[in-house]
Homo-oligomer: A and B are copies of this chain.
Amino acid sequence: MDSALCWKLLCVAAVSVSLEGLFRYWWKRRKSVKEVLFFPVSLSCTEGVLNPGVPCLCPLPHTDSDLHRLMRRLMEARRSLELCIFTFSSPPLARAVLLLHSRGVRVRVITDSDYMATVGSQIGALRKAGVEVRHNQSSGLMHHKFVLIDKTLVITGSMNWTMQAIQTNKENLLITDDKVLVSAYVKEFEELWNEYDPATYDFFPETDK
């Protein structure tokens, strides 16, 4: 093979590598999800997220907020939704979860035993609808507040799913689809799900012995 042909082949190969690298970089940047939501937000109607295209005539303001952004992320779930939430009493978020459950998305919930039976908790409504719910049994709180959507996106932060948190407190939720971060939360969820399996309940805790 002569020298000119060698150079040409080398050139074509190098250009291909460059283009592939640039494409990968662009694709990764275009697709990656990284967002932070901040609360409190003002009270407003969220029906538009649950029933897009159906006009709502309720008297609440119809402005967009970080609660809408959170709910839109949840509604993206197609296969699975894992909730690991300390306190869950927000009606609009419960409606979103129940809607996903009714669409066939596998919903699993881990929550805290002390708070799941408090006034306003949505855990009873979820259980009644057939959603799988497990809870801690130990003395420490199950204080996580994270969500996994299709095991490809995690939402985590300070915010419990309560109306006070959404409308009154200073709170944050970080959303990312970074594989390293998401996989850490998937692992934690599965470990807790197994740890809180009702089949292994200890009905005679140490304090009663």
Chain A residues within CB distance 8 Å of chain B: 3-4, 7-8, 10-11, 14-15, 17-18, 21-22, 25, 34, 36, 38, 40, 86, 136, 138-146, 156-159, 164-165, 168-172, 174, 176, 178, 180-181, 184-185, 188, 192
Contacts and interface: CB of A to CB of B under 8 A. Distances in A.
A139 B142 CA distance: 25
Counting chain B CB atoms within 10 Å of each CB, the highest count among A40, A157, A168, A178 belongs to A157
A176 B10 CA distance: 39
Contacts of A36: 181, 184-185, 188
Given A18-B17, A21-B25, A180-B34, A172 B158 contact: no
A165 B158 CA distance: 13
What's the dominant secondary structure at chain A's contact region?
A: mixed
- Total copies of the chain: 2
Nearest to A171: B143
Contacts of A165: 143
Given A141-B169, A143-B170, 15 more contacts: A7-B7, A10-B15, A11-B11, A11-B14, A17-B21, A18-B18, A140-B170, A141-B164, A143-B158, A143-B159, A143-B169, A144-B158, A144-B170, A170-B192, A174-B174
Given A4-B7, A140-B40, A156 B184 contact: no
A6 to B, nearest CB: 10
A200 to B, nearest CB: 16
Contact of A170 (B40, B142, B171, B180): B142
Contact of A168 (B140, B156, B169, B176): B140
A168 B181 contact: no
A171 B4 CA distance: 63
A156 to B, nearest CB: 6
A79 B191 CA distance: 38
Nearest to A4: B4
A139 B167 CA distance: 11
7 contacts: A4-B7, A11-B11, A34-B180, A36-B188, A143-B159, A156-B174, A176-B176
